[in-house]
């Protein structure tokens, strides 16, 4: 009997195809069995950082999933938000919520069907980590962001150095400014389980 989709399964992902398989199964129950059950809050940190920095619209939510970060942005007054994700099943859950102006399936590692500088900013929560999306996708994030636009991404703290995110961001220094890195809890203080104390970096910067 196959195991139900789980946080452990998400942490074990190795390829985009693994992500597609997992989230196809998990989409309909993701908000309850992951976000609520594990008290996930990183999307709130990302949305808050973007808005507090003065991030403006339109904004693209990369790896939008079921719309957690998009919902947090809307709660902070933004309403011109688009969503992209590799999983059509997750995007369908988000679509029903009416959060996004537009939703499209996309693999950011392969490149998005989006013009250069199409967005005033980009956000992403829970996507830039081992087995999901690596640092090589940061070039595409910058490409779709217009000059002066803010980018707010979460990166799991334990993978920031060993998966090459630190090195990639250093390489991108000539193209970005106003960089900050803030370590925050991925899950709320009352979370339980093996990963309850995991942390992530909210990585905030602007494109030159």
Residue 14: the pLDDT is: 52
Residue 3: the pLDDT is: 40
Q: Is the pLDDT reported for residue 149 higher than 80?
A: yes
Element (H, E) at 162: none
Structure tokens at 34: 């992951």
The answer to whether residue 24 is domain-embedded is yes
Q: What is the tens place of the pLDDT at every residue in 7-45?
A: 444 544 455 555 556 656 778 898 999 899 999 999 999
The answer to whether residue 2 is domain-embedded is no
Q: Is the pLDDT reported for residue 148 higher than 70?
A: yes
Q: Which residue has the tokens 């693209």?
A: 60
Domain count, the chain: 1
* Higher-pLDDT residue of 11, 183: 183
- Distance between CA atoms of residues 153 and 125, nearest Å: 6
CATH number of the domain where residue 101 is located: 3.40.50.150
The answer to whether residue 101 is domain-embedded is yes
Q: What is the tens place of the pLDDT at every residue in 91-130?
A: 999 999 999 999 999 999 999 999 999 999 999 999 987 5
73: containing domain: 7-207
Percent of the chain with pLDDT over 90: 78
DSSP secondary structure letters along 75-124: HTT---EEEEES-HHHHHHHHHHT--SEEEE--TTT--S--TT-EEEEEE
Residue 26: the pLDDT is: 72
């Amino acid at each position: 009997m196959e195991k139900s989709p789980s946080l452990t399964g998400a942490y074990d992902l190795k390829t985009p195809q693994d992500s597609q398989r997992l989230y196809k199964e998990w989409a309909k129950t993701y908000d309850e069995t992951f976000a609520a059950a594990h008290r996930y809050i990183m999307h709130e940190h990302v949305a808050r950082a973007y808005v507090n920095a003065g991030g403006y619209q339109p904004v693209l939510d990369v790896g939008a999933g079921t719309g957690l970060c998009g919902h947090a942005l809307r709660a902070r007054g933004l309403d011109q938000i688009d969503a992209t994700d590799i999983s059509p099943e997750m995007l369908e859950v988000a679509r029903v919520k009416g959060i996004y102006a537009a939703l499209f399936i996309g693999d950011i590692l392969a490149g998005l069907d989006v013009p250069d500088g199409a967005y005033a900013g980009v956000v992403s929560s829970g996507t830039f980590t081992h087995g999901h999306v690596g640092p090589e996708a940061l070039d595409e994030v910058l490409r779709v962001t217009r000059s002066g636009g803010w980018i707010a991404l979460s990166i799991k703290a334990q993978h920031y150095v060993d998966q090459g995110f630190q090195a990639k961001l250093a390489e991108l220094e000539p193209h970005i400014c106003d960089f900050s890195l803030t370590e925050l809890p991925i899950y709320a203080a009352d979370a339980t389980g093996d990963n309850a104390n995991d942390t992530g970096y909210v990585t905030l910067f602007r494109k030159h």
